[in-house]
Amino acid sequence: MSETVLQEALETLKTTGVRITPQRHAILEYLVKSMSHPTADDIYRALEDKFPNMSVATVYNNLRVFREAGLVKELPYGDSSSRFDFVTNDHYHIICNDCGKIVDFHYPGLDEVEHLAAHVTGFEVDAHRMEVYGTCPECTQKKTAAPVQ
């Protein structure tokens, strides 16, 4: 499945005139296979052994190209380091307050909120974003397993 998605993404880039370099291919492949919503630094660290001459700037530049081609969404969160999401269809995120893990979830009913907001305010609504915060199962388990002092 991910190989098909990767090939489709590469074709999308080619049709927009983007040359497929080995670094670009590797960054895109990492995003397709990773469901962790990585930062540019995460991607750089994951690929630095394979591409020792690649810089963090190269990763950022490629992420910008992917974003402009509609292949990734940039998720700017409060920790001032954007995360990148290859899944560009409508979905929402739940974020762990402790470790920062981000997990996708789908809930189709929120489009009604856009229509209501437009109706009540007179705005032309372009999009919406919803984030849910809590503690992931792993962090909850760590908290309950920690010895009481």
Binding-site residues from annotation for Zn(2+): 96, 99, 136, 139
Q: Are 14 and 20 within 8 A, CB to CB?
A: yes
Binding-site residues from annotation for Fe cation: 128
Q: What is the DSSP string of the chain?
A: -HHHHHHHHHHHHHHTT----HHHHHHHHHHHH--S--BHHHHHHHHTTT-TT--HHHHHHHHHHHHHTTS-EEE--TTSS-EEES--SS-EEEEETTT--EEEE--GGGHHHHHHHHHHH---------EEEE--HHHHHHHHHSPP-
Binding-site residues from annotation: 96, 99, 128, 136, 139
Residue with tokens 């010895």: 147
